[in-house]
Amino acid sequence: MIEVKNVAKKFGRKKVLKDVSFTAEKGKITCLIGINGVGKTTILKAIMGLTPYESGEILINGEKIHPATYEKITFIPDTITMLPNMKIREAFTFMVDFYDSWNSERASELLKFFRLNEDDRISELSKGNTAKVNLILGLALDVDYVLMDEPFSGIDIFSREQIADVFTSHLIEDRGVIITTHEINDIEHLIDKAVLLDNGVILKEFDTEEVRENEGKSVIDVMREVYQA
Ligand SMILES: Nc1ncnc2c1ncn2[C@@H]1O[C@H](COP(=O)(O)OP(=O)(O)OP(=O)(O)O)[C@@H](O)[C@H]1O
């Protein structure tokens, strides 16, 4: 489990995170929802140990992040971090060199799933295909948790559907996934848990299926109640 406990973070004098607490479990897709600039990326970076925070605590499987944790968790940023002149194949080789947890078989399977060619150069890919390669770079790692920053942002409906298919396939297996989004519509049916963020605090954290069954409400219904209250 990933446990974010009372995390506070400032950039200069601006308090971006005031008191953020939530959990994300293995085997579940947790979605961190909030408008642009609310601090979603900052939370993912804090979980990864990529940005310091003033107070609070973040635990991954009960432990604070340490070097060995990077074989258990990965972060897929919203822009690709590979050099543009690399071919997809070269990006994969780079990953092999850096991560013990790289699973070449899964990478090939994902490449086939997305109908991409390993000889394609990253700089020559469309926006949607770049997003798919970026996703493969994270999903082909045998890790417990995958953090994805806006994986559906700015890409066409067919690419979005293809990416959504990955979430319901064996390629995710029993991993814990945290996705951020400011646009819930396309992914509402995929997520197990929603975490609503605003003004530096978590306004609500809920099990989407439970709320649907017990209260007959969709994620959007709950968002309306919470954000428009
Ligand atoms: N390195 C930084 N220095 C100063 N301010 C920053 C820095 N990084 C982020 N911020 C500010 O912190 C706030 C939260 O940013 P963050 O990127 O976490 O938001 P977000 O919810 O992920 O937004 P988006 O949906 O647009 O990606 C923003 O107001 C942003 O301007």
Which ipTM score applies to this complex?
0.94
Contact assessment for residue 171 and residue 165, using Cβ atoms and an 8 Å cutoff: no
What secondary structure letter does DSSP report for 169?
S
Task: Tell me what the mean pLDDT of segment 88-104 comes to.
Answer: 93
Picking from 184, 122, 116, the residue whose alpha carbon sits closest to that of residue 150 is 184
Q: What is the pLDDT of residue 171?
A: 79
Q: What is the pLDDT of residue 24?
A: 97
Q: Is the CB of 176 under 6 A from ligand 1?
A: no
**Span from the CA of 214 to the centroid of ligand 1 (angstroms):** 35
Taking the C-alpha atoms of residue 5 and residue 55, their distance in angstroms, rounded to an integer, is 9
Taking the C-alpha atoms of residue 181 and residue 166, their distance in angstroms, rounded to an integer, is 17
145-202, pLDDT tens digit by residue?
999 999 887 788 888 888 888 888 887 878 999 999 888 887 888 899 999 999 899 9
Q: Is the CB of 154 under 6 A from ligand 1?
A: no
Q: Is the CB of 10 under 6 A from ligand 1?
A: no
Task: Tell me what the mean pLDDT of segment 204-215 comes to.
Answer: 95
Q: What is the pLDDT of residue 168?
A: 82
Q: Which residues of 154-176 are buried (b: 16+ CB within 10 A; e: fewer)?
A: ebeeebbebbbebbeeebbeebb
Nearest CA owner, ligand 1 atom 6:
11
Q: Is 83 helix (H, G, I), strand (E, B) or coil?
A: coil
| 152 exposure class (CB count in 10 Å sphere: 0-12, 13-18, 19+) | buried
Which residue ranges form the domains of the chain, and what is each CATH number? 2-228 (3.40.50.300)
Query: How would residue 91 be classed by pLDDT, with cut points 50, 70 and 90?
Result: very high
Q: From the alpha carbon of 197, which atom of ligand 1 is closest?
A: 21
Picking from 110, 44, 38, the residue whose alpha carbon sits closest to that of residue 78 is 44
Q: Is the CB of 159 under 6 A from ligand 1?
A: no
Q: What is the pLDDT of residue 158?
A: 82
How much is the pTM?
A: 0.91
Phi and psi angles of residue 88, each rounded to the nearest 5 degrees, phi first: -55, -40
28-84, pLDDT tens digit by residue?
999 999 988 899 999 999 999 999 999 999 999 999 999 888 889 999 998 888 888
